[in-house]
Chains A and B, each alone.
Chain A
């Protein structure tokens, strides 16, 4: 079955607005949650990750929050810019990292 569910599948925001992408996982033993950004025609690249001993991590305009009780984690992008337009993937451990189905974010200038 689906171990990592990611929503929404597409997201369109105006430049300067915030964007939030949410993932849920099923394995309560999971302890590592990365987020990847994939620009068109390029490889996925790690943008931020969080381990289960913290609830939130920030890096400039991006942040990840983790709710272990509810088994979900979210990516927050503030003050979005056109260059944030890409597909974003979350991942959570199973036997190896399992990826969500991706969110296509479009930032409208």
Chain B
């Protein structure tokens, strides 16, 4: 069974801090994704990666960056956290084909920026 592990379930940070959210998958998947989930807005794609050191902007990349130094790990970075980045963040991974393969999600990180 695919396991996608996010490093924290809950995280509280202050405005202006640099925040790192970590995600690890154990199925040798090529693709990894970061979403944020807000009520009424569904899952919005922030960034995705289809290979090590490769990254693509999603629909809402502003204020975020990502890092994929190893195949199994995909990090989301909030360069200077702001209160409007308070949200649930979900990581996902999939086998080859970013457009047409099922995604497997982690449990999410609920991030609060004070």
Contact = CB atoms under 8 A, between A and B. Distances in A.
Interface string A11-39: 00000000000000000001110100000
Interface of B: 31, 33, 35, 40-45, 48, 56, 58-59, 90, 98-108
A101 B38 CA distance: 9
Contacts of A67: none
Interface residues of A, number: 24
A100 B108 CA distance: 18
A89 B43 CA distance: 9
A6 interface: yes
A96 B45 contact: yes
Which A-B residue pairs are the 7 nearest by beta carbons? A93-B99, A32-B100, A101-B42, A99-B43, A43-B105, A96-B98, A46-B102
A101 to B, nearest CB: 4
Given A43-B108, A45-B105, A96-B48, A101 B41 contact: yes
Contacts of B99: 30-32, 93-97
Interface of A: 6, 9, 30-32, 34, 42-46, 49, 51, 89, 93-102
A100 B90 contact: no
Given A96-B33, A100-B42, 4 more contacts: A93-B99, A93-B100, A101-B42, A102-B40
Given A32-B99, A95-B56, A96-B58, A44 B43 contact: yes
